[in-house]
Structures are given as structure tokens and as C-alpha cells.
Structure 1
Amino acid sequence: MRRLGLGSYEELYRYSVEQPEAFFEATFRQMGLEWFRPYTRVLDTSQGPQWPQWFVGGELNLAYNAVGRHARAKPDAIALIWEGEDGQVIRLSYGELEARVAQAANALEALGVGRGDRVGIFLPMIPETAVAALAVARVGAVFVPVFSGYGADAAATRLGDAEARLIVTADGFYRRGSRVRLLEAAREAAALSPSVERLLVVRRFGQTPLEGREVAWDQAVNGQPEEAEYAPMGSMDPFMLIYTSGTTGKPKGTVHYHAGFPLKAAQDMAHCFDLREGEVLFWFTDMGWMMGPWAILGALTLGNTVLLYEGAPDFPDAGRLWALVERHRVTHLGISPTLVRALVPFGEEPVRRHDLSSLRMLGSTGEPWNLEPYLWFFHTVGQGRVPIINYSGGTEIGGGILGCVPFKPIKPMGFNTAVPGIRAAVLDAEGKPVVGEVGELAVLGPWPGQTKGFWNAPERYLNTYWNRFEGVWVHGDWAVVDEEGHWTIQGRSDDTLKVAGKRVGPAEYESAAVEHPAVKEAAAIGVPHEVKGETVVVFVVLKPGHSPGAELEKAITDQIVQRMGKALKPEKLLFVADLPKTRNAKVMRRVIRAAFLGQNPGDLSALENPQAVEAIRGMG
């Protein structure tokens, strides 16, 4: 604000949306962003707001801005801290991280990975996860993060669509004191993905024996030179292909570019979370969800420290998260409302026995709050002195649409601003902005970080976000903004499931269920859950000759878990004779959900079989 000569936060926000080119240029200059070749123009919208071109003609490399320039300026500053569930700790300075990323980049090139090639990162949160992602970007390739809890089929869907040539994985990781053998799922996923040529395996458990096309990380990387070139990349060249689930069909591959997602992440950390020099950010997440790359790339681009943790948040006891904060002097802690709800029953004692005085900001994202856990987080963890920066956006956004800034009062569970640079509005059914009324959350102008469409599916991208109102991004959330500029999100306006803050498409559950030979068709819905916020109920119609029963219920549930992973196991599986459908055979999940929850399902005139609704109504 001082640099721009602005006297209030409201002036800054207005400037950011009325003069976005000047605002983003000033923001990234203040961050010290370095270009290999200067850009000639900040923004080109000649192809429409759906396809903006940012920093036209400029060349840079996100890995250089996240690591290389800091390694030169402050080689001994701590870049990354990792703690394993078993208590092992690794700290890497910017100089050490630069050397490791260079070695990994050289190893990737020796394995034939080059500009534009896709590399799957199927890893838990270990140091090599950050090193691999940065190395892939350094050589100009594209990484595809995959949730470490996915089953082989869910992983293969993403790797296959991306046509990944290499998978970086691990033999396993620790979770609640047990060894999770990730390599087995990775091998299966590779077998289902014809494009995969090699697996680069981090041996977390020691000398795990490897098979024919598998290469050990330590053998491939550790002997490489500690210097490597940074590939000069165009501002809009992709570096990451991260998948997010929709309501129908296969997951969507959102395409992110060097002058987009990392800059948006860093900008949001600076403007919303007030992350300052020398501070430590810890967001409890996984690399397969947006917040994993967001935490790593954003914190490093700002020259700060990012903490990664491998294991469960309540192992060996309910004080583990608070012990991490105390041990590593965390200043910025981000956890989901679901996790807070899970920790509340343990009481205040596990929190009180740890020194949390280093905390300066709390963060949350992924789903709407309810009041009791929000206030517990504020009073018990934040001791009534630390703001909760509520943050909501998405994988396709590259960060937040709505957030909080510590310059303004924050109402519980809400957002006190749209993120600077994001021209957000709540729109009514006619596409007109409304205040004090629930409507569609929309963005009225482009921003760096906006996905460069969906991988090999431009029409699907346009249909998903741009088909409601001309030139307007409609996000799929119900929201309301009041006269004072405080926002709340009411939930998803489409069918996408949000399980423990993670977006999952109902089609993925349904596809997994119908693979069982007894299943004719299935429908998945999200329902409220006290701890998780939302959980999944799957309705199944059996083929003739099969009868409902506990044994069959378990077999179909196991089939879903095998495909989706244990973390996404449905809460319930219910047998029905029929699913409510329209005359063109579209299953009406909205109607199923309303009937199951005892709510008014609305207009049923389009249904071919309204009797199916009555059968479901008594099951909730």
C-alpha cells in the first residue's frame, strides 16, 4: 500500500481489480521475481477472458525463483524442514536444496526426461517430493501430483490421461505406526498406464528390492553433479498438470504454467497470510491436493521455510500437530475444518501442554466451517490472539477466490475480502451481482494462476466454468456477501463431493461400484458429517439374480476402496430397486440427496420414475 501510495486496504483491493496489470506487475516486482527474458506486455486477453496470456514474451523458471535466486542470496537460510512420523527430522538450507534439486534434474535428464514430458509424482510428504517437483520444473518438464492414498486405478486414471513417461514414487511411508507399501500401488498403476516407461523409487524403508524398470532414487540422484541449468520457460509454458474431480466423467486435468500458480500461491501467502521473511509455514496436506504444491511453491518463492510432515496428525497421540508447531517454531499453521472437528473431542490438554507462542496466523480451507470447532480453533489453539485466515478457491484457480486479511475484522467462519486481484461477485439467476442474497460465486476478470484449460479437453473447460454467463467464470459454490464486504460460502452448487476438504467426483465412486459383477448401476451423493464435513453414501442397483446382504455390501465397498483408496471409503452403501432418472436417463443425484436427508427434492416433473424417490426417502 505504501509503495503504491494507497491509504487503505479498500483502496488497494479496488486498485487490484480496476488496474490488474499494474497491480500484478508491482506485486511480483516487490517479491523480487527474476526473469531470464523480460516480458513485453503484462496481459493479453485477445482470445477472451477464458484464455488470458500473462507476461507475454517473458521467460523464467519457477524453480529458479523458488530456490535458485535464494540460494545465491542467502544459502544458509532454512528452506525446508521435514519430519517423519517416526520422528526423523531433515532440515535443508536453500544452498542444500539447490544442490539436491540440481542432482535430481541431472538424474531426470539421464533418464530421458525433457521439456514438456509428464512425470507422475506419487509420493507422500517427504523431502524428495519437493525436490522432485522442483527438478521436473527445472528441466522444463511437467509434473503430475497424485494423492498418496489413491488406489492403483485412481492413480492410473490420472497418469494415463497425462501420458506420464516416468513415475517418481516411494517404497512406502509410515502411517499410524504402520508401513504403507506405496510401491505396490505404483507398480499396479504403472501396469495400467501404457505411457509409463520407468519408476524412480525413493527407498524410505532401506534396501527394498526393485524390479526391471525401476530405478532407486539414491542410486540415480546422489552421484549427480550439484549444478544444473534452469530451462528458460515461456511464462505460459506448463509445469504442472493436477487433476480435480467433476460431477460427471473422468477427472479434469488442470494445466498450470510457470508465471501462474507459483506466483498466485506466493501472492496469496503475502497478501492474505502476511507471510514474512524468516517465517515457517506448515499446511497439513498431501502433494496430490492443490494445497501441497501451493505450500511448497508459495513459501519457497517468498524465500521462507516450508514444513512437511509425513504421518497422521494424531499419532502417537492427539498432541502431534502441536508438538510439530512447538518443535519447529511454526508461525503459520493450516488445517482443515474436518481435522479440527476430529481433534476437538480430545479436549484442550493436548494443545495446552505445548508452547504455541510462535504461531502468528492460523489457516483453513477445503470446506465450510461450523461454529463450535471454529471457536475451538481460535480460542484453544490460537489462544484468542491469532487470526484464522479462512481461504477458499480451488485447483483451477491456483489459490484463493475468497480469503481474509489481518487488516480488517474477521467474522467467524467467513471471509473478509475477495483475494486482491480477484474480481469476485455473487450473481443471481440472471447474472447480476447481488448483496445480502445467496447466489453463484463468480469471477469477473482473469488472474495469474487461472488454469490454462483442461488437459486435452478445452470444450469441457469452457462448459464447466464459462457456459452460464458471457465472459464470467462461475465457480460452482453458493455464496453470499453482506453490505460490509464479509463473505460466506454455503456449499457446492453442483454435485461434486467434498470429502474431508478433498473434491471427488461422484462418477469415480460409481465407476468403481459398477465394476463389481453384481452391480447394475450406482449413484454417489455427499451428505453432512459431524467430523468430515461431508461424507459419501453410495446407492446401488443390483443385477437380476443378486440379492442384497451384508456380505455383498462389504464386497462392493471393498471394490470401491481398492479403486479409490482407503482415505475415500464411502460411509454407507445402500441397496435400492431403482435410481431416480430423467426421461433421457440422467440420474438425479440432487433428488437422491434431498430424499435421503428428508428434504424437499423440488420439481420432480422431469423424472421418469418418481416412485424411486419415495423408496429412498425412508432410508436416511
Structure 2
Amino acid sequence: MDAFARLAGERSGRDLRSWPDLHRWSVSEVGEFWQTVSDFCGIKWLDRGIGSAYTPPRPSPKPGVGGTEMGQRGVRDRGQERGGAMTDALWFEGAKLNFAHNLMPLPTDDEVIVSVSESAELASRRLTGKELHVLVARCARALRSAGVRKGDRVAGVLVNSQEALVCMLGVTAIGAVWRGLTSRLTTTSGPRVPRVGGCEEGWGRAPLSPHPTLPKHAILLSTLSLVRTLLSLPPPNRSPRSLSRFHFSPNLAPSSCSPDFGVGGVSDRLGQISPKLVFFSLGYLYGGRWHDCRGLAKDVLSRLPDTEQGPPLGVGVPYWTTLGDEGGGSVNRADVGGDSRSYPDPLSVSDLPAPLVPFEEFLSGSATEIEFEPTAFDHPVFIMFSSGTTGLPKCMVHGAGGTLLQQKKELELHCDIQRGDRLLFFSTLGWMMWNWAAAVLSIEGASLVSFDGSPGHPDLAALWKVSAEEGVTHLGASPKYFGACKQKGVVPGVDCAASGSDGLKKLRTILSTGSPLLPEHFQWIYQAVKGDVHLASISGGTDILGCFALGNPTLPVRAGHLQCLGLGMDVCAYGGDGSQEAVGEPGGSGGEVDRDRVDHPVVATAPGAVAAALKPPSREAARGEMGELVCRTPFPSMPVSFWGDSDGSKYRSAYFEAFKGEDVWAHGDYIKITEEGGVVISGRSDAVLNPGGVRIGTAEIYRQTEMVPEVEDSLAVGLRVDGDVEVVLFVKLVPMAGEGGRGGGGEGHPSQNPKNHYVLTGELEGKIKAIIRSNLTSRHVPKRVIVVDSIPYTRSGKKVEVAVTKAIHGETVNNLSALANPDSLQQFHEAGRALRGLAPFPPPPPPVSRLQ
């Protein structure tokens, strides 16, 4: 970060050594900033083009030309009318690059990818830069031979492995578009693993209350969801030409998912983009059990729609093999002694169901050089899907150049990843953090560790042990994982040092995302893991394949806060709901942005020019006050389009219509920017509660219920009553010490209460309310506290307050296939009827709690 500030200062002729000055320059001199990022991070251009780094909107082409073009802003109809400044910003006009070309390490004998399995039976697999180069060359050649061309879609339903990276790099090398999905099935074996936060729509949920400053340290890595994926097939008599009806589910019991539940899963996603080829994992290990996916892959493939050249091709990828010089595979076993037959040998061709092609056969043949297809800056590289809890998933198309610039900026500057560093980011292919972490390959001399399996197998120390053994410098995991380690008494700093390795001496950054990283999590990491690590909570979204707020190795760490706004991200908090006047006094936005800086910038097209200030912000909340997260200046990793959104109306509606008359990106998070320039995120704005006209973020309440030992999980919603809103808090209680069983109901809830769980007595309800009142305000205190069996989540680990709000008001909840546990909504429908006076609550069960 300091080196970048020096370069920026030299080029701009300004003193940018202080963080506020550097961030102010990055959002006011947009073109100059992103050009400097490109040069500092070493973007490999195939053609530097004719334009500057940033060009303001220009008049539309004459209507009536017809046809389509692939390039700036993705797939656009020729003659399509341009919109506002945010959507029509042009980046590096006329320039050409290739995404894989930028990610490919040098073809040397240095290790660049290490693949680690949860099983001690399977040795780590290692790829050098030279070996990766050959495999990607073969994959690119094979894809071209299979008829895949620039702009075609290719999907991977794969485990987190080196094969997934080879496939993604091969696809993007030829200019095709990649979509990864996890092949993870559910499991009933192994220890209960905490739900790993992370979501497809917005992945950092920052912690809440201010806490004392912690020491300055080196960087943090974040994690995504540990969501288990179950593909459940439609009935066998369904036409093979019809779109498939199968689903993903992170539940721990396969039997909990029916075929009807899977209607919106893969069919809502792959069915939209019609892939020409799909890579399938044929099996995998999770929680100590082997899952065979051969039949699944065959049936999924048969139900995908045809492309213009016929049915899509399927390629079967075996689990944990070492590819030989001719593409053949052998199991890469560790010498652990004893019986290791729990893992089968690679599937032979005769075992592979038609029409799948074996991966080793697909890669067979010779190829040593990669022919990189030149693409425009905004040429589609990834297709990402939102969680789909409010309708069909948004199908977001991300451009090669913008994705590359954003991710390299974050990894190299905000995470300080350098030559010799090694990143382990726990994720599955379905979540954006897999794409984000893969970009570390673009940093010369850095390497990536991919972990496949359960982070709780054989115990919660698994990720820490891998980090110690592999010399990881940057580790990413979710707050749920850190919280589970804390709860179980894991002490990684001591445990890893006693293992005979160098322990965690090389670890200098921990990143966290997916849900609030609570202040007590900060304290635990500094006490139990390492006292001189840089801990960074980060927040952004699948929508931008990057971060709005994240860490900074040059700034102090404050417990419960995201350290700063990202460079180039002109973020502030907007008060009001888009129809009101400004709320609060004009105040600072994150990063100390000047009050008289642009609102709708027309940014310089030449170095040194300054954006014109059009008008002061009209809605910006004062520092320390809550508001909607908005970004007021264009940034290159905005989606280039939504797939199939020919007129751009869905795209504009998703981000640019929240505030009437203002052309700003509204992200849907409820935030405050602190006096120090840090960020606190209190949840999704569509889940904000409004009792008595006071807006409350649900994460504020969850922060308090986390401190109640009898409460395992909670969810807060608003019940509409006589023109106002009452806060209703649903809680799932923990089992009694030493006793098992599932969560159950309690006083005031229409279900029976298992006697091996705590009961919601008046004492416990009072305790919950007292904690909320003492740490927040009386407005935050729920009118009612109701016990439920389970809290509904999306498959990506996100609480669904909106769905529960609909359920308690008797409204239809759309797209149940987006939920991991849709059956859990029934208890909320029943509770809602009682809350609305349509049905009585049953008498409470006899109290059996043994409250401490």
C-alpha cells in the first residue's frame, strides 16, 4: 500500500502518504487511479487500445443498426440507448487482454497450487507453474476441439480442486465464459460443522459496536460459505429435453430434500445460460464419507437444453488423482498405513456413464503453448448468480478487465499479498470468493492452497493444521468458523506450535466475511491464534466480485469494524428510503472524501485532470449514523449486464432506482461510517426494522443474542400492527449440557418443546430483553420472543428475514428452492396466524430448564 501511494503521489504531483488523502484522490481522479492500479499491478495488455482508463458516457450509436456486439458493457444491442453515468462509464476503450493470460503464473518449477483434502489418506497434490501451463494448454486445446468458442458458456459442477482451476483457466484462455457450481452433496456423518457465512448476494456482514483499538497488524483473509450442495433429480419420466429440476442444499441430512424442493436449483441457473460443455466431479469426500456422483452427472446432463450445435458435452472428473504426462490419472495416496479402502481408485472408462467423457481422455494429446484469445475489457468472463430469495436468481455477467483490476487491487494493496505468500481461502466453487481467491495466481511468486472437504473433519483444527503445514500467510474463513473454534476451546497458536511444524509463524493475515465478525471473535483471534496478525473483516458482494469495505495493512484494527473503504470505491451512507429528504447533517463518507467532491462525476480522461463537482450529496448521513450503502462513482467491476436482460431494465432496477433522481449504486446494505473512517454493517436494508419510525438493522440484535449462552441462533422481523411495526424475535435454543436432540419450541410457540433443550421461561425471555436493552435501546427490544425449531437460511448461509416476514403475514414466499431448509417456514406461518389473532397459541409445555 505504501509503495502504491508513493507511485500515485509521483504521478499526480500530490502528497498521498496519508490514507485519507490517498482515498480522496482515488475517488476524485477515477481515470488516473485505475490507470495507476493497472500499471502498479502489472496488468498484461495484448493491446492498450485508443482511449484512456476512464471515459464518461458518450452519445448512443444511431438506432436501427441491428445485431449485437461483445465488448464494452458486455453483450449490448447495437443502437441500444445508453443510460446514466454509472451504467455507461467506459473503461480502457479499445484495449485487449485475456483473463487467463493475466492469472497464469510463470512456467517455472515453483509450486503455484497445492490441493489438500480433508482425508489423511490422500496426500496433498502439488502443481508447479510449468505443470499448470501444460495442463491449461491441453484444456484450452480440448475445448476448442469440442467446438467451444469465444463467448460460449462452460460450467463446472466440481469440488474445490486443482482440476477446477485448470478448467476455469482453460475456459477463459479461449475467451469463453465460466460458471462454477459446487458438486457437494450433503452428509450425515462427522461432527456438526457450523454454517459458514457467505452468500451469493452480499457477503460481508460487518460486526456492530465500536470497541477499543487493537494493534496494527498484517492482513486478513475472508471466507465464504461452507454450504453443502445436493442435486436432487426430477422424476425419471420427465422429458430429457426439458429443463432440469434439481437443487442444492446445505442441510446435513439428504433425506430432508425432495425433488420438488430442487425445482429452482440448477435449472434456474444453468438453464438460463445454456452451457455448451459441463465438467462434473464424479465423486468426493465430505465428513469422512464418500459420495458417488456418476449417476447424478448423467441425469443432470440429459436435462440441460441443447445448444446450437446439439446437446451439451459432459466431462467426468475423477476425485483426487495426479494427472500424468499423457493425461492418465492415479490416486494420490498418502502413506498412512492401515486400510485406506474408504477411497476408491479412479473410475475406469467402463465405469463412466454415457455420454460423459473421461477427463483424462478429454485432456489427452499434446499441447505445450496456450493460445490466449484477445478480448475487450468488458468481455464476459464469469457468470454469477444471486441467492434468488426474492425471485429467480439474478444472472450477473462480469467482465474480464474489471474483475481482474478489482481483485488485484484488493489482493495486492489491501491484503498485501506479495512474492512468496500463500493464500488459503475456504470456499466452494459456487460462491464468489472462489473466483476472488483464484486471482492470487496473478501475483508473481504467490501460490494458492485449495482445501476440499469439511473444515470440521476430523475436528475444527483442520484449517489451522493445513495452514501450519503448508506455510499459509493469508487465511480466509467465516465468523461462524472462528466462533465455533472459540466455543470448542480450539487454541490454534498453541496446538499448531506443538505439532512439530513451524506452527503459524508465517501467518500474517486473516480475512473474514459472510456474517458479522463479532468483537469477541477479534479478541479470541488475537489471544488464541496470534497476537501480531492483521485481522480484516471484508464486505462486498457477488454483484461486484469484490469489496466495498475491507482491510488495510497500514491502519489500526478496531474490534467489530471493517477498517476502511476500498480504494476507488466512493461509498457513503444515504439516509431516507429514496422518497424522503436527507436524514442527518452532511457528514464524511468513508475514506475522508471531500464534501465538495462530485456526486455524479464526469471524471478526467487525461492524467491530472480533476472531476467536476456537480452538486453536493443530498442524502448523506452524518458519520456514526446509519443509512443505505451507496456508491456514487463508477467502478470497473460493476456487472457488464444481466444475462438475457436485453434492454438493461432489470440491471438498472437492481442497483440504480432506489433513490429517485440520483444516479447512485444502491447495494442493499445498511451501514454507518465511523468517525475514524471505518465501516459497520448492520444487515441487509430490505430486512431493516422500523418500529416507531426508527430504523434498526437486524444484525444489531443478533450481536446481542450471540451473548446469550442459551440461544443457539435467532432471527428478528417486524410484525405490522395498526400502522406501526412490532419487533418479533425468533430464537432457537441450545440443547442442555450433555444431552442431544434437535431444537424445539417453547413458551408462546405452537410446537412441542423437546425436554432436552432449554425452555423459554419468563426468566430467560427477560434475560434476552435485558441484554438487548442495556447494550442498544428500548426500541430494539422485541415485543415478543418465540422459540422455533430452526432458522431458515439460503443455501449460501444467509438468514432470510424477508421470507419470514412474508410468512408471518400470511403472504406467499417465492422461490423456496433458494432455501436450504424450506420446511422450516411452516412454523413461521403458524406463529404468524397466532400473532395476527387467527389461531391461539397452545399452552406452554411444563418448564424443564436448568438455567445457570
TM-score normalised by the chain length of structure 2: 0.60
Distance 1:342 1:183, change over 3 A: farther
189 and 527 in structure 1: CA distance in 2 versus 1, 3 angstrom threshold:
farther
1:178 aligns with one of 284, 289, 294: 289
Aligned to 2:317: 202
Shift of 1:244: 1.3
Partner of 2:658: 468
| Counterpart for residue 397 of structure 2 | 255
Aligned residues of 1:106 and 1:224 also touching (Cα < 8 A): no
Q: CA, structure 1 residues 331+530, in 2 after alignment: closer, same or farther (shift >3 Å)?
A: farther
Amino acid at match of 1:462: R
Q: CA deviation at 1:339?
A: 1.2
Instruction: Find the counterpart in structure 1 of residue 109 from structure 2.
Output: 76
Aligned-partner Cα distance in 1 for 2:733–2:173: 43
Residue 576 of structure 1 deviates from its aligned partner by: 13
1:432 aligns to 2:442 (yes or no): no
Superimposed CA distance per residue, residues 470-509 of structure 1 (whole angstroms, 9 cap, x where no aligned partner): 211111111011222121000111259x99xxxxxxxxxx
Name 2:679's counterpart in structure 1: 487
Name the structure 2 match of 1:226.
Answer: 368
Larger relative strand fraction: 1
Unaligned stretches of 5+ residues in structure 2 = 10-15, 58-81, 185-228, 232-245, 247-264, 320-343, 497-502, 577-581, 583-617, 689-697, 700-727, 735-742, 744-750, 754-791, 817-823, 846-852
Match of 1:580? 809
Percent identity, aligned pairs only, is: 27
1:311 aligned onto 2:453: yes
8 Å Cα contact 2:387/2:794 also seen in 1: no
- 1 CA distance for matches of 2:37 and 2:804? 55
Conserved? CA contact 2:100–2:172, under 8 Å? yes
Return closer, same or farther for 1:467/1:578 CA change in 2, 3 Å cut-off: closer
Aligned match of 2:176: 141
- Deviation of residue 263 (structure 1)? 2.1
Q: Who is 1:516 aligned against?
A: none
Q: Is the 8 A contact 2:116 2:451 kept in 1?
A: yes
| Structure 2 Cα separation of the partners of residues 371 and 527 of structure 1 | 23
Q: What is the rounded CA distance, in whole Å, between the counterparts of 1:575 and 1:54 in structure 2?
A: 41
Q: Distance in 1 between matches of 2:382 and 2:522?
A: 33
Match of 1:85 in 2: 118
Residue equivalent to 2:544? 397
Distance 1:489 1:373 in 2: 16
Match of 1:49 in 2: 86
Equivalent residues of 1:596, 1:618 under 8 A apart: no
How far residue 148 of structure 1 moved from its aligned partner, in angstroms, is 2.7
Higher helix share: 1
Amino acid at match of 1:157: D
- One-letter identity of the residue aligned with 1:432: R
1:450 and 2:638 are equivalent in the alignment? yes
What residue identity is the alignment partner of 1:480? K
Give the structure, 1 or 2, with the largest relative contact order (CA under 8 Å, sep 6 or more).
2
Whole-angstrom CA distance in 1 between matches of 2:355 and 2:733: 45
Could you tell me how far 1:156 is from its partner in structure 2?
Answer: 2.8
Secondary structure of 2:369 counterpart = coil
Instruction: Indicate if the aligned counterparts of 1:66 and 1:302 stay in contact, CA closer than 8 A.
Output: no
Cα distance change, pair 8–571 in 1 and its aligned pair in 2 (3 A)? closer
| Partner residue, 1:160 | 271
Report the counterpart of residue 789 of structure 2 in structure 1.
none
Tell me if structure 2 keeps the 8 A contact 1:271–1:420.
no
Evaluate the alpha carbon distance shift between residue 570 and residue 201 of structure 1 in structure 2; reply closer, same or farther with a 3 A threshold: farther
Helix, strand or coil for the counterpart of 1:494?
helix
Distance across 1 between alignment mates of 2:468 and 2:663 = 47
CA distances 1:349-371 after superposition (whole Å, capped 9, x unpaired): 45522111110111011121222
Q: Distance in 2 between matches of 1:227 and 1:617?
A: 74
Report how far residue 527 of structure 1 moved.
Answer: 6.7
Counterparts of 1:618 and 1:258, CA distance in 2:
58
Q: 1:109 to 1:617 in 2, by over 3 A?
A: farther
In the other structure, the counterpart of 2:99 is: 62
SS of the equivalent of 2:641 reads coil
1:29 has 2:39 as partner? yes
Mapped partners of 2:435, 2:391: distance in 1:
25
Measure, in 1, the Cα distance between the counterparts of 2:838 and 2:404: 48
Query: For residue 261 of structure 1, what is the amino acid of its counterpart?
Result: T
Counterpart in the other structure of 2:379 = 237
The alpha carbon displacement at 1:232 in A equals 0.6
Q: 1:31 to 1:611 in 2, by over 3 A?
A: same
Going from structure 1 to structure 2, the CA distance change for 1:423 and 1:217 (only over 3 Å counts) comes to same
The residue type equivalent to 2:48 in the other structure is P
User: Cα 1:31–1:530, aligned 2, differ >3 Å: closer, same or farther?
Assistant: farther
Residues 237 and 321 of structure 1, relative CA distance in 2, 3 Å threshold: same
Matches within 5 A, 1:411-426: 411-426=558-573
Select the residue among 485, 490, 496 that pairs with 1:343: 485
Give the match for residue 124 of structure 1: 159
In 2 relative to 1, CA 21–363 (structure 1 residues): closer, same or farther, beyond 3 Å?
Answer: same
Of 271, 284, 288, which aligns to 2:413? 271
Structure of higher CA gyration radius: 2
Q: Is the 8 A contact 1:266 1:299 kept in 2?
A: no
Within the candidate set 516, 519, 522, 1:368 is matched to 516
* 1: CA distance, partners of 2:37 / 2:806: 58
Bigger Cα displacement from structure 2, 75-84 vs 23-32:
75-84
Does the 8 A contact of 2:806 with 2:813 survive in 1? no
Alignment partner, residue 7 of structure 2: 3
Structure 1 counterpart of 2:554: 407
Matched with 1:441 is: 629
Asked if the contact 1:144/1:162 (under 8 Å) is kept, the reply is: no
Q: Which amino acid aligns with 1:490?
A: S
Q: Take 2:657 and 2:280, find their aligned partners in 1: how far apart are those partners?
A: 38
Q: Distance in 2 between matches of 1:333 and 1:291?
A: 12
1:380 aligns with 2:528: yes
Contact 1:119 1:142 in 2 (8 A): yes
CA contact (8 A) 1:123 1:148 kept: yes
Question: What is the deviation of 1:255?
Answer: 0.7
Name the CA distance, whole Å, in 2 between partners of 1:136 and 1:612: 56
Letter in 2 for 1:82: S
Give the stretch that moved more between structures: 51-60 or 397-406.
51-60
1:49 maps to a residue whose letter is M
Partners in 2 of 1:528 and 1:29 — Cα distance? Answer: 51
1:44 to partner: Cα distance: 2.9
Q: In structure 2, what is the equivalent of residue 459 of structure 1?
A: 649
Matched, 1:359 2:507: yes
Shift of 1:228: 2.8
| Cα distance between partner residues in 2 of 1:526 and 1:185 | 40
3-state DSSP class of the match of 1:21?
helix
Within 2, Cα distance between the matches of 1:51 and 1:302?
33
1:288-309 CA-to-partner distances (Å, cap 9, x unmatched) read: 1000011012443555211101
Which deviations, in whole Å up to 9, do the C-alpha atoms of 1:498-541 show, x marking residues without a partner? Answer: 99xxxxxxxxxxxxxxxxxxxxxxxxx9977799xxxxx9xxxx
Is the contact between residue 79 and residue 300 of structure 1 (CA under 8 Å) also seen in structure 2? no
TM-score normalized by the length of structure 1? 0.81
Alpha carbon RMSD of aligned pairs, Å?
A: 3.9
Seen in structure 2, the aligned counterparts of structure 1 residues 89 and 613 have a Cα distance that, compared at 3 Å, is farther
Between 340-349 and 215-224, report the one with greater CA deviation. Answer: 340-349
SS at 1:131 equivalent: helix
How many Å separate the matches in 2 of 1:20 and 1:577?
Answer: 42
Whether the 8 Å CA contact 1:151–1:185 is kept in 2: the answer is no
Inter-CA distance 569–257: structure 2 relative to 1 (3 Å threshold)? closer
Alignment of 1:514-593 (within 5 A): 580=809
The answer as to whether partners of 2:153 and 2:275 remain within 8 angstroms in 1 is yes
Provide closer, same or farther for how the CA distance between residues 84 and 222 of structure 1 changes in structure 2, counting only shifts above 3 A.
farther
Q: How many residues align?
A: 551
2-structure distance, mates of 1:472, 1:443? 6
Which of 151, 163, 171 pairs up with 2:230? 151
Q: Which moved more, 1:30-39 or 1:46-55?
A: 46-55
Shift in Å, 1:314: 2.1
- Residue aligned with 2:6, SS: coil
